[in-house]
Structure 1
Amino acid sequence: LRLTLGDQLRIGDDTFKIRGVITSEPDRTIRAFTLGPRVMISQKGLESTGLIQPGSLIRHAYRLRLADREQVDSFKEQVQRAFPEAGWQLRSWREAAPRVRFFLDRMNLNLTLLGLCSLLVGGLGVSGAVRGYLGSKVTHIATMKCLGASGQLVMTAYLLQIMLLGAMAAICGLTAGAATPFLIKQLTGSLLPIPIVPAVHPQVLLKSALFGLLIALIFSLKPLGVAGNVSPAILFRGYAGFPGQNPGPKIWIAISLATITLGSLAVLTSSDRRLALWFIAGALATFALFRLATQILLRLSSRLPRPSNPSLRLGLGNLYRRGSAAGNALFSLGLGLTTLVIVVSIQANLNDMVTQTVPKEAPAFFFLDLQTHQVEQFEQIARSQPGVSKVERYPTLRGRIVAIDGVPVEQAQISPDVKWAVRGDRFLSYAGEIPPETEIVAGNWWPTDYSGPAKVSITADIAKGFGVSVGDSLTVNILGREVTAEISSLRRVDWSTLDLNFAILFAPGTLENAPQTHIASLHLPAENQEQAFRSITGTFPNLSTISTREVLKNVTRALERIGTAFQGMAAIALISGFLVLAGAVSADQHRRIHDAVIFKVCGATRGNIIASFTAEFLLIGLAAGIISALIGSLASYGITEGLLKIDYQMHPTLIGLTLLTGITLTLFLGLLGTWKALGQKPAVYLRID
């Protein structure tokens, strides 16, 4: 408008002096789209414009501050009971921005999922570390047994050690976790539209400590139970490897009780109890599936024909021979990789959701209040603009849905997520051709020259919320006249493109003679937008023009920050997951070093030994990778579609890279543990054993 401070601006019947320019508003972060420029004037000034008349389309918004936030829900219920037919939209401070709330809810779910996945992966790390530690103490345990120590005493002694270490680790973790919000404020506080006030929450820290200690207890009980059953006779066998026997029914009962306690704590303290329940059920099912798959694969490997290659034959034999740790490695590696596949898949789908929310080719401008007699001239000028690629235009009317399949809306059963459609007037239109980016999911579109009884097409989500389908009817009040139309089709619309479309579209032949205006959109490059804006608004000063460039810039900036947060959380989970996987594989290094020494005594070269271990790790990794890809993909599909409520897209390349990275890392670190022993003379280890 080429205005500056101090200039005069006429609004309706009155003239106002510009006293300031709005550069930013806190509540703009919760509004992705606003029709028309923002103007702030006093209540008295608004009344002097003469814009508020009987029949004017105006929305009133009241903001109430209650003394007690806990009274918000009860206050909403009182208002709804007192004014059941008012059609008001009541939102608490938790619901102020539905679209932003959608992203925040997904972020909260993602945080919860990552936390639960981290618990599972951390448990695997605890199990591997405890098994490796106790494996190095087998001779000590056998000596204690020879001196009269009972299995219970052995378990208690080492359990105290492990829980003490767990408590020390919990203190370190709590300190780092409590300090993180303060660090984030220093690093990113200026990027947020509102200040954040970090604080230390003792209840949250206590809950985290309980989770950590319970995980340490659950995943260390089995190796502790096995350690308690170590036989003193091991001292007389020359090599004391960690036994692979069953820990006994008492240990399994203790593990079950601790698991129930952990699950109950997770459900009771989770922000989404349904998600926690599903995760626990999925984790238990995954444990059972991997245990079953491990047993099946080990049995199958024992029945495969022996390869002619000695290294491959040794690697295959290591999977099923007595005392083999392949079962533990396959189980731990498979569960860890499954968790990583789930994290990566969910993260990729969340990224897709964020990036697809911002259209790549959005219209440059929307034009409102285009009059019927201006349509032809407008289209001529719009299409003549340099760089223009598309011009869209639709007639628009305002109407209110008053009946659904003959039932008044006050009596109809309407899903809460589509009640917005019956609150007040809605934009309607009519068209002969199906709009772009639209998919017919039920029924058929009418002919372009249709002229029969009134028909209407509505979006599939509204139809589902209304409980109607093709063949039912919809009654709309348009300027005091009720129009009942048959629902001829249901559509799925991609609203993210910002192309013109309508939730309710009538067939031709019904609304053409009703008073109406038009809405249009214009697609053209950024370098031509200013010229087009001046040309069109100069010719049609009555148009309300909306530039999408600034709107999309703000939305993109907000979504990029959300996406960065998603990626940061996933990166932390992946890094910790890879480290835990490496620890799980290295837990049995003592046994592999012993095997390597025996091989060298029998004449095997370093290359032969490395080749056999490589074959063993590759076979374990391949089996774990295939099972992890299947189970992880199914689990991520259920989570994204069922819990996150977003469309699932499989990312095979990303899943493959995750599996390859995890398997390669575990293979490298697993072989690295035996490399030192391979470089020394066997006599060093023979004297020890």
Structure 2
Amino acid sequence: MTGAATNAHSNGVNLKLAWRLALREMRGGLSGFYIFLACIALGTAAIAGVNSVSRSITTAITEEGQVILGADIRFELQNRAAGEEELSFLDDRGEMTQTVGLRSMARLPDGSDQTLVEAKAVDARYPLYGSLETSPSLGFDALFSAEDDVYGVAVAPLLLDRLGVEIGDRVLLGNAEFEIRAVIDSEPDALSDGFGFAPRLMFSSDGLAAAGLIQVGSLVEYAYKLKLPPGTSDAAIRQLRTAAESEFPAAGWSVRSRSNAAPALSANIVRFSQFLTLVGLTALIVGGVGVANAVRAYLDSKRGVIATFKCLGASGSFVFSVYLIQIMIITTIGIAFGLVLGALMPILASIALAEVLPVSSELALYPGALAFAAVFGYLTALAFALLPLGRSRDVPATALFREQGFDAMALPRTRYLLGAAVMVAVLAAMAIFTSYDRFIASVFIGSIAFAFVILRLVSTLIEYLARRAPAVNSTPLRLAIGNIHRPGSLTPSVVLSLGLGLALLVTLALIDGNLRREISGSLPERAPNFFFVDVQSSEIDAFTDLIREKSPDGKIVSVPMLRGRITEFNGVDVREIEVPPSGQWVLRGDRGVTYTKNQPENSILTEGEWWPSDYTGEPLVSFSDEEARELGLKLGDLVTVNVLGRDVTARIASFREVEWESLSINFVMVFSPNTFAGAPHAWLSTLADPDADPAAEGEVLRAVTNAFPTVTSVRVKDAIDLVNRIVGQLATAIRAAAAVALVASVLVLAGALAAGNRARAHDAVVLKTLGATRRTLIRAFSYEYLILGFATAIFALFAGGVAAWFVVSRIMTLPSHFLPDIAVITVVAALIFTVGIGLAGTWRVLGQKAAPILRNL
């Protein structure tokens, strides 16, 4: 037998023996590893659960694509109906239904109240898939047909509440009166229609015509939905889309198929779930500190066994293999618990989100999401367990018999350091390359790595200051200061365990607080009171006079408004251009565009020049600066926009800084007046009156709605309240994720205390032998935990404040403020956790009998 074969055989035998010994030694149970298990299970469950819920929703959107879209394929046009040739082309391909969506004002017949509605006109073929469920259950004719020249409508329950009406009552919409005949229980294609700021009101196409809501320049969405012959493949649907775009290149329609029924919703779910995944990864990495503490404490308790192995001739590699096998088995148990919890989360999500998102209530496993979480769990466990395992490899038997622990040892061999570094690098790479926005993920991961380094420096600084602190008369305080800097102290573990979790919690709390402050505080102060949409050119003068009469102290601003979709940059189709996620919203759907002679008063030129007021040359456009840079545009580039079915190409003449958060009239693109000479359009107006009270606003709203029934009035306060509720719901999910990280921190802290209990017991017994009372020891431990908790809270406030400032001011481009109440809560929480858990962990130590411990010293 060759030497290589002999070595292979020997290694195989050693590995088999190591496996047997590892299993035999684990017969005593998992004592000492409960924190380890909890840390791994918690982080794995967070990642598995978030990704399973995301897959559940996106899978449901894909599987229920026909019902969600209401068709196999949908062609959408903005602000213009399809022409005869386009309709003929679509109608020849399958069964077609047409829906028309727009915003309008529903009001009571006596003019006493009104509310914004999302109006949707449907024909007798609607819906092609799924069913429109109403209470009472009525057919199309019974719901929408005209009786005594009054058409019927079905409305969302919210509309009844807002107007104080019930089924059978009548409302005015545009120029016609309608009877409420049913409440909408389920609208099959609501998700594909997008998020609405107002309750749904549904009527027939004939009812829409009677209302007279569609005027020149009105913001209207025309959707043409096709039900294709059974068995039509996705490839055939793609061919139909290509044929439509080829035959009508200037149509300007947006096309969606059943495989991509709600792209914006799917993208937002993926984006948000990946953000929560990063937060869950933080919890897992925080738990990794607990893994390292648990492994170190476990190996420290096995010093006698390791010494015996080595005395019997076992090599360091063999010892390493035995305990690595044990750690991997325990890791597998923890990951299994986490995966079970993560797999159950879609069911819990279905209960919470059943009314708004398509989440299946049936148990379904998503192997990809679970495997993703399991890989993160194993990599984290290995990354943090390799170093203490590597240090145990080189401990000589004599040192173990002398009761020398692992804390006194130097760094492990290079191979273990490199192995841990590789595991951490793989973790970071996976987190970055699987994220929706890799830049943000890179910043997130880099921040965690930087935080670990800073936390280590903070703990070193605390130990240094404690070592250099002047002598104090108080015995408990002197003991506490000594405990902070003595060899094997808890300082690094406490600072690491709580620091990252608290910093993350502070970051998210400050972001949430700043958003709420902006939305409910400064934003309403700067925002206009009303937006008025679809003001006709023939009505703009009379409309302006009415507003000035009802609000003499208010400021009214009116601009022409059209809708257009960006189709090309420098002659290249935008669908062929790779755009970063932060800039994709500009190309998604139609954008509002305007033209003006003079530079808007609320914008600042950052580059280029404004055109003269009498300019007549080639069409020019001024682009918002931030969005232009995200799209890679520069001065002189050509932008092609499809407006009313016609492609218009303009050259970029300037870039403007736009203050979107002011909610005043702003546009991504402002064109020179000659670009749209003679094009039909409506006007967009705002009214700003900071001194107007709700009664005055109500009077303006009633006057406009009664005098101009086709004008859509949006009260900004209502929109802000809705956004505030949405932010609150998102904040709840973010806080839950942050709480997972904080729980992981607490578990790590508890594990660190448990790992140090042996040394604490020795200290307590010696001090009590020398005359210290239990009260003195409790005060000493309390002072120690207070000092460490306060120092950790200071770091968390600083690190969390900087991170929140970066997110709010640089990413969200909003004013950022430090909120003192968050600071106080953080400090109090840190002190409660450190003192409370610290004393709970050491209380048992204080009751140790002296004799058993003194015999082994």
- Counterparts in 2 of 1:362-373, with a 5 A limit? 363=529, 366-371=532-537
Match of 2:504 among 336, 342, 354: 342
Question: Does residue 669 in structure 1 map to residue 810 in structure 2?
Answer: no
Instruction: Name the amino acid aligned to 1:108.
Output: S
Match of 1:583 among 740, 751, 762: 751
Question: Does residue 562 in structure 1 map to residue 726 in structure 2?
Answer: no
- CA-CA distance at 1:648 after TM superposition: 8.1
Change (3 A) 1:227 1:631: same
Instruction: Name the amino acid aligned to 1:562.
Output: L
Instruction: Name the amino acid aligned to 2:303.
Output: V
Question: Aligned partners of 2:529, 2:716: CA distance in 1, in Å?
Answer: 7
Measured against aligned partners, the alpha-carbon deviations of 1:513-561 in whole angstroms (never above 9, x if no partner) come to 9987544345766666666555434334564555678766765655543
The gaps in structure 2 that reach 5 residues or longer are: 1-106, 110-143, 152-171
Change (3 A) 1:272 1:78: farther
Question: Aligned partners of 1:247, 1:61: CA distance in 2, in Å?
Answer: 66
Change (3 A) 1:123 1:373: closer
| Counterpart contact for 1:136–1:590, Cα < 8 Å | no
Instruction: Name the amino acid aligned to 1:227.
Output: S
Aligned length: 672
Paired position in structure 1 for 2:492: 330
Paired position in structure 2 for 1:191: 355
Question: Aligned partners of 2:586, 2:797: CA distance in 1, in Å?
Answer: 41
| Counterpart contact for 2:750–2:841, Cα < 8 Å | no
| Counterpart contact for 1:453–1:485, Cα < 8 Å | no
Paired position in structure 1 for 2:765: 597
Structure in which a larger fraction of residues adopt strand? 2
Match of 2:706 among 519, 525, 538: 538
- Counterparts in 2 of 1:626-637, with a 5 A limit? 626-631=794-799
Change (3 A) 1:64 1:34: farther
Measured against aligned partners, the alpha-carbon deviations of 1:183-237 in whole angstroms (never above 9, x if no partner) come to 3324x24432545355112343334333323322332232233334445445765
- CA-CA distance at 1:680 after TM superposition: 5.2
Measured against aligned partners, the alpha-carbon deviations of 1:18-61 in whole angstroms (never above 9, x if no partner) come to 7966747455555346899966545x999999999999997644
- CA-CA distance at 1:394 after TM superposition: 0.7
Question: Aligned partners of 1:110, 1:399: CA distance in 2, in Å?
Answer: 33
Question: Aligned partners of 1:110, 1:652: CA distance in 2, in Å?
Answer: 24
The gaps in structure 1 that reach 5 residues or longer are: none
Question: Does residue 177 in structure 1 map to residue 345 in structure 2?
Answer: no
Change (3 A) 1:165 1:103: same
Question: Aligned partners of 1:389, 1:101: CA distance in 2, in Å?
Answer: 45
Paired position in structure 1 for 2:274: 109
Change (3 A) 1:533 1:505: same
- CA-CA distance at 1:170 after TM superposition: 2.3
Change (3 A) 1:631 1:95: farther
Question: Does residue 248 in structure 1 map to residue 389 in structure 2?
Answer: no
Question: Aligned partners of 1:77, 1:638: CA distance in 2, in Å?
Answer: 43
Paired position in structure 1 for 2:685: 520
Question: Aligned partners of 1:83, 1:582: CA distance in 2, in Å?
Answer: 67
- CA-CA distance at 1:122 after TM superposition: 1.7
- Counterparts in 2 of 1:52-201, with a 5 A limit? 60-63=222-225, 87-90=252-255, 103-142=268-307, 145=310, 150-186=315-351, 188-198=352-362, 199-201=364-366
Question: Does residue 492 in structure 1 map to residue 654 in structure 2?
Answer: no
Match of 1:31 among 169, 185, 194: 194
Change (3 A) 1:476 1:249: closer
Q: Could you say what secondary structure the match of 1:442 adopts?
A: strand
Question: Aligned partners of 1:268, 1:476: CA distance in 2, in Å?
Answer: 33
Question: Aligned partners of 1:330, 1:627: CA distance in 2, in Å?
Answer: 13
Question: Aligned partners of 1:401, 1:270: CA distance in 2, in Å?
Answer: 28
Q: Could you say what secondary structure the match of 2:764 adopts?
A: helix
Question: Does residue 216 in structure 1 map to residue 381 in structure 2?
Answer: yes
| Counterpart contact for 1:132–1:587, Cα < 8 Å | yes
Identity %: 29
- Counterparts in 2 of 1:361-510, with a 5 A limit? 363=529, 366-371=532-537, 375=541, 377-379=542-544, 381-383=546-548, 385=550, 390=554, 392-396=556-560, 398=562, 417=583, 426-428=592-594, 430=596, 438=602, 440=604, 442=606, 459-461=624-626, 463-464=628-629, 465=631, 467-468=633-634, 490-494=656-660, 497=663, 499-503=664-668
Calculate the aligned-residue CA RMSD, in Å: 5.6
Change (3 A) 1:551 1:288: closer
What TM-score do you get using the length of structure 2 for normalisation?
Answer: 0.62
- CA-CA distance at 1:591 after TM superposition: 0.9
Change (3 A) 1:201 1:646: farther
Larger mean Cα displacement after TM superposition, 113-122 or 553-562 = 553-562
Paired position in structure 2 for 1:609: 777
Q: Could you say what secondary structure the match of 2:147 adopts?
A: coil
Instruction: Name the amino acid aligned to 1:442.
Output: T
Change (3 A) 1:466 1:149: closer
Match of 2:740 among 572, 575, 578: 572
Q: Could you say what secondary structure the match of 1:603 adopts?
A: coil
Larger mean Cα displacement after TM superposition, 33-42 or 660-669 = 33-42
- CA-CA distance at 1:174 after TM superposition: 2.0
Measured against aligned partners, the alpha-carbon deviations of 1:469-499 in whole angstroms (never above 9, x if no partner) come to 6x9999999999x9999967723132573x4
| Counterpart contact for 2:219–2:534, Cα < 8 Å | no
| Counterpart contact for 1:402–1:408, Cα < 8 Å | no
| Counterpart contact for 2:498–2:745, Cα < 8 Å | yes
| Counterpart contact for 2:529–2:716, Cα < 8 Å | yes
Change (3 A) 1:189 1:38: closer
Instruction: Name the amino acid aligned to 1:249.
Output: T
- CA-CA distance at 1:178 after TM superposition: 1.5
- CA-CA distance at 1:124 after TM superposition: 1.2
Question: Aligned partners of 2:427, 2:578: CA distance in 1, in Å?
Answer: 36
| Counterpart contact for 2:508–2:734, Cα < 8 Å | no
Paired position in structure 2 for 1:6: 147
Question: Aligned partners of 1:258, 1:384: CA distance in 2, in Å?
Answer: 70
Question: Aligned partners of 2:278, 2:696: CA distance in 1, in Å?
Answer: 46
| Counterpart contact for 1:364–1:521, Cα < 8 Å | yes
- CA-CA distance at 1:345 after TM superposition: 1.1
Instruction: Name the amino acid aligned to 1:127.
Output: A
Change (3 A) 1:684 1:75: farther
Larger mean Cα displacement after TM superposition, 454-463 or 108-117 = 454-463
| Counterpart contact for 2:212–2:710, Cα < 8 Å | no
Instruction: Name the amino acid aligned to 2:365.
Output: V
- CA-CA distance at 1:123 after TM superposition: 1.0
| Counterpart contact for 1:226–1:247, Cα < 8 Å | yes
Change (3 A) 1:526 1:263: same
Question: Aligned partners of 2:632, 2:649: CA distance in 1, in Å?
Answer: 18
Q: Could you say what secondary structure the match of 2:771 adopts?
A: coil
| Counterpart contact for 1:121–1:580, Cα < 8 Å | yes
Question: Aligned partners of 1:51, 1:606: CA distance in 2, in Å?
Answer: 82
Question: Aligned partners of 1:202, 1:513: CA distance in 2, in Å?
Answer: 58
Instruction: Name the amino acid aligned to 1:572.
Output: V
Change (3 A) 1:370 1:570: same
Q: Could you say what secondary structure the match of 1:562 adopts?
A: helix
Question: Aligned partners of 1:553, 1:220: CA distance in 2, in Å?
Answer: 49
Q: Could you say what secondary structure the match of 1:467 adopts?
A: coil
